[in-house]
Amino acid sequence: MRRNRRAALLCVAVFIAAILQVTALAPAPSAPGEGRPCVSSPKPRGGPAREVLDIAQRARSEMGLNSVVLRVTRDGDDVLTTALGESMTGVPATPGMHFRAGSVAIVYMGMTLLQLVDEKKARLDDPVSRWLPDAPHADEITLRMLGDSTSGLHDYVTDPKFLAELEAAPFRHWTPEELVAFPAAHPLWYEPGTSFSYSHANFVLLGAALEKISGTPLDKLLEQRVMDPLGLSNTRNYATPEIQQPVLHAFTSERGRYEESTFWNPSWTTAPGAVITTHICDLARSAQAVGTGELLSPAAYRTQLDPGTVGLGGATKTCPATVCLKNTAAMHFGLGVLVLNGWIVTNPSFSGYAAIQAYLPAERLAVAVTTTKGPKTPDGNTAEIIASRIAAALAPGHPLPAVTPASPSR
């Protein structure tokens, strides 16, 4: 298996590994969620909007990206919404094009869990066995440990056997049982709750638990509790590789040759019912809502940002530092979110798609970026790099860490 395939599939885990080891406005385009189109801002002549546009244009050229689509808002007002490059040859990218949002749905699952806890339908420290008696280590692992990734379960996305099967058949549909079987075949990294190690399996199980707790299918549950209240009318779950039109197409060299990956099956990425697509205006709205705790009580919002992970992690005899990552007050995993120097972040990246939603409460600044790869685009989440540069320009006192690209894909 090629090295760049393995690196690309680490998704948010790659970003966590990299960063946790590091101790005049244009007129607003139509707002999302109000039945208005997601369109580009008028071309900026100067000010912050021009800075953002220049950053995006330079990054697209430097990294050989097919497209860069972004939206930046302050206090919910547009700084810049734009799309550069092409979706496919001869088809310009536009802000209204839809793309896969991956781990953004993990944030939504964490928020939904906190809402259900506030309603006393469950407790964060309930054992998983109360809801999923047949889950691996169900008596030892709690709902909190699933949400903040302190269960000790291995991550199937780093399992060589899983990677080989996924690479061989990218259109295969995966069931939750098939995915959870990979970590179930390994001993826990540590006693649950005593360290931190990101695992996609946690969120496959959390999705199933949320269905049991609420009595509602996960896709409907997330619509009712997150998408509909926030007006995210262009954020949808799909049970198949379908993507809502218009589509931002993706390409990748993960399997050793540059090929289209738009409709590879994303069923392996998270729980069924949380495999979502979105567009850039919804992603920026999502960043603001998550970052302000709009759908949570004040106590639940505090728990989301620090459910007890600060201080956990670090190498032990049974868990290497590359797996059990050290969480600090400045840089740690919350309940479904990353907290990085005051930014509240999530960063999906897989199958040729890369994105980031980030919100800085201190500046009331939301940054949403998605990118697609050209034949020579470096490995890594290029959307993070662009967001990091935007943060440096608009909020220099609050750096947003990003992964440096590896060598060019082959």
More confident residue, 34 or 234: 234
The answer on pLDDT for 130 being more than 90 is yes
The reported pLDDT for the residue numbered 28 is: 39
Give which of 249, 245, 248, 227 is closest to 236, Cα–Cα.
Answer: 227
Average pLDDT over residues 333-362: 97
Average pLDDT over residues 211-217: 98
Average pLDDT over residues 392-407: 78
The answer on pLDDT for 10 being more than 90 is no
pLDDT category of residue 7 using cuts at 50, 70 and 90: very low
Mean pLDDT of the chain: 92
The reported pLDDT for the residue numbered 36 is: 76
Average pLDDT over residues 202-224: 98
Count of CB atoms situated within 10 Å of the CB of 402: 24
The reported pLDDT for the residue numbered 129 is: 98
The reported pLDDT for the residue numbered 35 is: 59
The answer on pLDDT for 2 being more than 70 is no
Count of CB atoms situated within 10 Å of the CB of 59: 21
Q: Are 188 and 91 in contact (CB under 8 A)?
A: no
Average pLDDT over residues 138-156: 98
